Amino acid sequence: NAPRKAPLEGHTSEGGPRGGEGTGGEAREGASLLGAGVRRVDGRAKVTGAAQYAAEFDAEGLVHGHVVSSAIARGRIEHIDTRDALSVEGVLHVLTHENRPRLAWFDNSYRDDDAPGGSPFRPLYDDRIVYSGQPIALVVASTPEIARYAASLLRVTYQREVHEVDLRAALPEAFTPKAEREGYEPPPRPRGHADEALAAAEVSVDAAYSSPFEHHNPMEPHASTVVYAPDGSLTIYDKTQGVLNCQAYVTKVFGMAKEQVRVLSPFVGGAFGSGLRPQYQLFLAVMAARALKRSVRVVLTRQQMFTFGHRPQTLQRVSLGASKDGRLQAVIHEAIGETSRFERYAEAVVNWSGMLYQCDNVRFDYKLVPLDVYTPLDMRAPGAVLGVFALECAMDELAHALGMDPLALRLKNYAERDQNKDKPFSSKELRACYTQGAERFGWSRRAPKPRSMRDGKRLVGWGMATGLWEAMQMKASAKAVLSIDGKLTVSSATSDIGTGTYTAMTQIAAATLGLAVDEVTFKLGDSSLPPAPLQGGSWTVSSVGTAVRVVCEQVRARLLELARKVEGAPLGKAKLEDVTFAGGRIHLRRDPSCSVSFVEAMRAGEVLSIEEEGVGVPRSQEQNKFTRATHSAVFVEVKVDEDLGTVEVSRVVSAIAGGRIVNAKTGRSQILGAVVWGIGMALEEETLMDPKLGRFMNHSFAEYHVPVNADVREIDVIFVEEEDTIVNPLGVKGLGEIGIVGVAAAIANAVFHATGKRIRDLPITLDKLL
């Protein structure tokens, strides 16, 4: 069982369907491009530094803002003395709640596209402090260094109030959230009699799990460069997952017309959810630019990246009951997360436990506890990554109590139908994930007893878990322009946060029109382009990809219409279904030697270009008859040094059922990155709160640990074949989140198998193992 290594320069990805790179002008059947491991079309720009990020755009007379953050968690600002700061040469302005301009928004609480229920945080609104790290002033100066230095000279006095940042201590304040924002589904209704069934079960487990605050920590810190035009209009380069969300925010908050605000975000250095909501640096940069009537840039420091949203700390309890032969009789899953005092951030933590396994007696509960912290924020596979951790650890505990193989237990309780919604799955190849993943990993050679496998001095453990996530499609639109030189440009106001959107969209467009990859350009990250949703929820390829498909089909139809005008009518009266598009030509299906080039068609039609706008609209009525989800099976090997308590994740096999894979290479990269993050979640990541200060303390990469190369060993990705005609016309389900779900549970289960120690509190640091 030799695990396969990641190829450094693999054009064809392991486990991917159909390899091959789509370059060169040779005619190729468009369909084969879908699935090919095409190299990132933006890769060269990224590695050579040509790609520009929000803080790298320049403007004439650009000045720089530095944010001053609150030192207390709750109370009031008594006084901000700005005199020393203002006396520094080069300092232009200090914005505080005392001198900020009046804004209509301050009274009516506009909510952005990803806002939970409640009233959004409004920077510099008044003297109230609602969390530690809250921005309380912006110092604007001619250079970033001067601004930062001057910011250190601000003298702020506070009236402190008692804060509460301890989830356990605040439990009496727990409440049940409502369905307060689109996308949040409250826990499913109970089925049967879970408590009675649990009490009567022959074998049962009941365990509490917990996970810490975590922060997104993308490589690129949040930044906004606001370019101020003499007429007061703004061109804003922002780090965001949604240029339209930011454009709407700026127009609504500052009372500006849409035409006056253009938001661009051509490249994003990672976001993972941290860019779903407009962040305060955008607000402050715009406010300063309008106050000073000049261009302003605000970049957050790494420390300040810990001040606007995080994965919520969570407490969970899972009880499972089963018959002796391993059939689930009861599933009870309760979870408590935290939120701020001003917004109710709710996520689906327990819901997954009602759909992953067949069980007729289930009960769920999910509550929130308000703390004096900033509102939590979606972070890669929000909710699922936590809920599935607890469920999949509990399943492992149950397997152990039953003396049953953990994989066999899952197969025994395989859900053929989503019992939460009483609907069939649009497709579900989870069984293939289990089978192929287990085979590749060598699972059948696992010695069942904990502490029974060794590698020299180290204990070896094998663990596994299941993952799942939703497969969603949102309405999106795109524009296509095919010019007479045969080049195609497609555009949409979506983003590429590193996910590979540029490349996937280029492939879909090229495949639809039978063009080569280098004949197609895809543009994104610009609010002036056709509307697209936020990039999140793993729905971009599904949503924007469908729009790209639709608009390119419209171009096909136009081309054929024009081709009919070509002298001699070589294609006769052919309809769309009678022709194929390849190599820049339209071919008759029954006689491919009969063809018309795109250029000939456009000449015959006397046009220099074909322009189309198209919309990808979800076929909701049809789709809603089904539960649409991605699945995974994760197999993990750990090696634990008993003397030191160190855990090495030596091998991971992640088998994914994600529908059609558009790009085997970037798709695989998504899963690799997510598995690495799963290792971090299991073993390293936690933001530590000082309860006395009410402040996150390890707010730097020196102390907030994420996996480094030395922590990452063999990771093997399998994409199982999965056909789905329901999710969208492309049959794609999305890969952004599924790769992390289940990884932490598989690692925790492997650690138990290695050591016999069940660590239910993440992360599994060495002190917990010694």
Q: Which residues bind ligand MOS (CB under 6 A)?
A: 241, 272-273, 276, 378-380, 382, 536-537
Structural contact between residues 434 and 375, judged by C-beta atoms closer than 8 angstroms: no
Q: Are 369 and 173 in contact (CB under 8 A)?
A: yes
Give the shortest CB-243-to-ligand MOS separation in angstroms: 15
The closest alpha carbon to 337, from 171, 476, 196, belongs to 171
Whole-number Å distance between alpha carbons of 258 and 262: 8
* Residue number with CB closer to ligand MOS (380 or 660): 380
Least CB distance to ligand MOS at residue 271 (A): 6
User: What DSSP state is assigned to residue 549?
Assistant: H
- Under a CB-based contact definition with an 8 Å cutoff, are residues 505 and 548 in contact? yes
> Smaller CB distance to ligand MOS: residue 277 or 294?
277
Report whether 264 contacts 527 (CB < 8 A): yes
Strand partners, 761: 210
Task: Give the CA distances from residue 204 to residues 208, 319, 321, 402, 403, in Å, rounded to whole numbers and listed in that order.
Answer: 14, 7, 4, 9, 12
State both tokens at 742: 């289940």
**Other Cβ atoms within 10 Å of 535 Cβ, number:** 28
Place of tokens 């925790």: 748
The neighbour count for residue 311, using CB atoms within 10 Å, is 28
Using the minimum distance from each CB to ligand MOS, give the nearer residue, 82 or 499: 499
- Please identify, using beta-carbon distances, which residue of 38 and 379 lies nearer to ligand MOS: 379
> What length does the chain have?
770
Q: Least distance from C-beta 497 to ligand MOS, angstroms?
A: 7
First-to-last alpha carbon distance for the chain, in angstroms, is: 31
201 vs 379, which CB is nearer to ligand MOS? 379
Nearer to ligand MOS, 312 or 537 (CB): 537
113-135: burial string, b at 16+ Cβ within 10 Å, e else: bbbbbbebbbbbeebebbbbbbb
C-beta of residue 66 within 8 angstroms of C-beta of residue 137: no
List, as one string, the DSSP characters of 673-711: HHHHHHHHHHHT--BPEETTTTEE---STTTS----GGG
CB nearer to ligand MOS: give 216 or 297. Answer: 216
Cα gap 504→140, rounded to integer Å: 40
Query: Which one-letter DSSP state was computed for residue 578?
Result: G
Query: Measured from the CB of residue 496, what is the shortest distance to ligand MOS in angstroms?
Result: 12
Please tell me the distance from the alpha carbon of residue 148 to that of residue 36, in angstroms, as a whole number: 48
Q: How far is the CB of 766 from ligand MOS (least distance, A)?
A: 29
**Residue 360 exposed, middle or buried by CB count within 10 Å (0-12, 13-18, 19+):** middle
CA 360 vs. chain centroid, Å, equals: 32
CB closer to ligand MOS, 579 vs 656: 656
Q: Transcribe 585-604 into DSSP letters.
A: EEEESS-TTSEEEHHHHHHH
Say how many C-beta atoms besides its own lie within 10 A of residue 587's C-beta. 21
Single-letter residue type at 570: P
Rg, Å, the chain Cα set = 27
Shortest distance (Å) from residue 376 CB to ligand MOS: 11
Given a contact cutoff of 8 angstroms between Cβ atoms, the answer to whether 215 and 306 are in contact is yes
Q: Looking only at Cα atoms, what is the longest distance across the chain?
A: 86
Please give the Cα distance from 242 to 210 (Å, whole number): 32
Q: What is the Cα 120 distance to its own chain's centre?
A: 22
Name the residue nearer to ligand MOS (CB basis): 197 or 271. 271
- Work out how close the CB of 647 gets to ligand MOS at its nearest, in angstroms, rounded to a whole number: 26
DSSP states along 307-332: SS--BPPEEEEEEEEE-TT--EEEEE
In the 8-state DSSP scheme, what is residue 43? H
- In 10 A of CB 290, how many CB atoms? 18
**CB of 120 or CB of 537, closer to ligand MOS:** 537
Q: Which is nearer to ligand MOS, 279 or 413 (CB)?
A: 279
Nearest approach in angstroms of CB 222 to ligand MOS is: 14
Q: How far is the CB of 480 from ligand MOS (least distance, A)?
A: 27
- For 146, the 3-state DSSP assignment is helix
| Cis peptide preceding 763, ω within 30 of 0 | yes
Q: Which is nearer to ligand MOS, 467 or 537 (CB)?
A: 537
SS3 65: strand
Q: Is 737 a catalytic residue?
A: yes
- Name the residue nearer to ligand MOS (CB basis): 164 or 737: 737
Supply the minimum distance, in Å, between the C-beta of residue 381 and ligand MOS: 7
Of 713, 738, 725, 559, nearest to 638 (Cα)?
713
Contact 123, 283 (CB under 8 A): yes
Pairing of strands 75-81, 135-141: unpaired
Dihedral sign (CA 105, 106, 109, 111)? positive
Catalytic positions are 737
